[in-house]
Structures are given as C-alpha cells and as structure tokens.
Structure 1
C-alpha cells in the first residue's frame, strides 16, 4: 500500500478513535462462509474514506443477492468501516402472488459466531465491523 494512503488511513483511525476488528483471514473466512448460506445476502457498506454508505439505504428484504464473489479481504480489511447485511431475500413467484420471503438469519448468525466475526444484530440486520469504537458486539 502506498505510504500516503497508509498515512491517511492511520490519521482517520486515530482521529475517530477507531480500532480494527477484522483482518484478511476473517474477511476470507466470512466470504467463503457465505457460500454455505441458502443465498448470498445483500449488503450495504461504509468505507472509511466516504461520508455515506453504499447503497445509501437497504431494505431488510431485498429483491437482489449480495455480491460476495469479490475478493474482499484486502479491500474490506483496510477500507471498510462496517457492512450491514440484509438477511432476507424477496423471491418473485408470480404476478398475482405475493413474493416469498426467504430468511438466512439463523445460518448467518451461526456462521458469524463459528468464525468469530464481531457483529451487532439490530432490527433484523447484521452489522459487521471492520473498524469501530465503543461498540458492544453480540458475540463478544
């Protein structure tokens, strides 16, 4: 990593009092473990260098799957402040039938506990912290 970017990152972490809670190994384990779930849940991510998360909002039950196929370990481990995972998928059945809601909350929770990924579960979402300050994790 370029020295200038490393210095910027260190400055952000120190000025905001953030501690690192994930490393490359944990991100790899998490991304690999997503394959065990019934579907890859959608996610919202907040980068350290950005003011707003992407996407700006996410529903609990999405009509799309998350893109966990990328190699997140380098990117997430360094740049991600947190990701918010929406564990429900709204599966279209037909024009006259309401969509079916598939939920992988239990499987996701079991995965996070098994591989010891720090998370907070709130309002149905799972927030996984790459960097945080003063957060009480559900699996701590």
Structure 2
C-alpha cells in the first residue's frame, strides 16, 4: 500500500511527464490504489443496478477539452454512481447559477473520476452580476454547447433547461 508521500509523488511526477490529458488520466487511475478500490466498488454497483455504460474516458476528455472552447465553462451538477441521489437539480433552483463550472481534472479537484459519473447535468446559462441596482443578465450558450456535443458525438438529452449526459443508464 502506498503511503501519502508516495501518492503525492505519483501525482506530482505525472505533471512533469510529457503526456496528453487522457494518458495522464489513465496513468493516474491505474496507479492510484485508492482509485483501484473505488473502481471495484463502482463495478459492483453497476452490476447490482444492471446499468450499461454510455460514456468512456476518451469521450469525457473530449468534453472536458471542448468546454474550453465555449464562451464560459457552464455550471454542472453530478450524480455519482455510489450516491443514492444527487445533492440537487438545477430545476429545483429559482434562478440560473451565478457561477461557472470547474471542468478541470479530478486531481485538480474539478470533475469527478469519470467512471464514477452516473450523470452530469449541465446548465448552459448563468446570471452575470451587473450591480446592486441592476437585475443580473442571463448569458445563454445552449446553442454552442449542443453544437459541441454533436461535433464530438456525445449523446445527450435536454430537460428543464439543462443538458443531461449519462455515464451509465
């Protein structure tokens, strides 16, 4: 079993290697023992729930990189396979989010480890603050997001103003 120092060095070392984002992701998920244990737990849940995989690592990376081409990184909400339910749904909120999504990699505390994502709910709109006396402006990039998803062949569904991407169904 790796110590915390060894784990820290694993993640620090990969930054100095000349690897693509996908190669880095695969290297880290294959060499981190904790992620190996998590992967086994997720496999058991998938079998128990009788789910099928919709996305793969390559598609998640393409999405992650594609988001960088949009005018802003849209907020997202995730439901992980090991959770009974999501923390919230955007449709439960009164307003559009006033924040951006963190689409960086899991080792930078952004997106979760891809194989744990049951679904990702993306809200392609946000409220831009204009001042205390002025109502916020809603910026909408739905068209650009849908175009990106079609270009990189990611299956999606639209519901209640959100775009749903399923990792498993």
Gaps in structure 2 of 5+ consecutive residues? 1-29
Note the alpha carbon deviations across 1:108-138, whole angstroms, 9 max, x for none. Answer: 0001111011111011100101111xxxxxx
14-23 vs 85-94, which moves further: 14-23
Higher helix fraction (1 or 2) = 2
Paired position in structure 1 for 2:140: 103
Give 1:50 shift.
Answer: 1.1
Aligned to 1:27: 60
Number of aligned positions between the proteins: 130
Structure number with bigger Rg:
2
Q: CA deviation at 1:7?
A: 3.7
Higher alpha-carbon deviation: 3-12 or 25-34: 3-12
Structure number having the greater strand percentage: 1
Structure 1 unaligned runs (5+)? 133-140
Provide, for residues 51-80 of structure 1, a one-character-per-residue CA deviation record: whole Å limited to 9, x for no partner. 1224x233462100000122478812x101
CA distance in 2, matches of 1:44, 1:5: 20
1:7/1:95 Cα in 2 relative to 1: closer, same or farther (>3 Å)?
Answer: closer
TM-score when normalising by structure 1? 0.83
Change (3 A) 1:98 1:5: closer
Q: Is 18-27 or 2-11 further displaced after alignment? A: 2-11
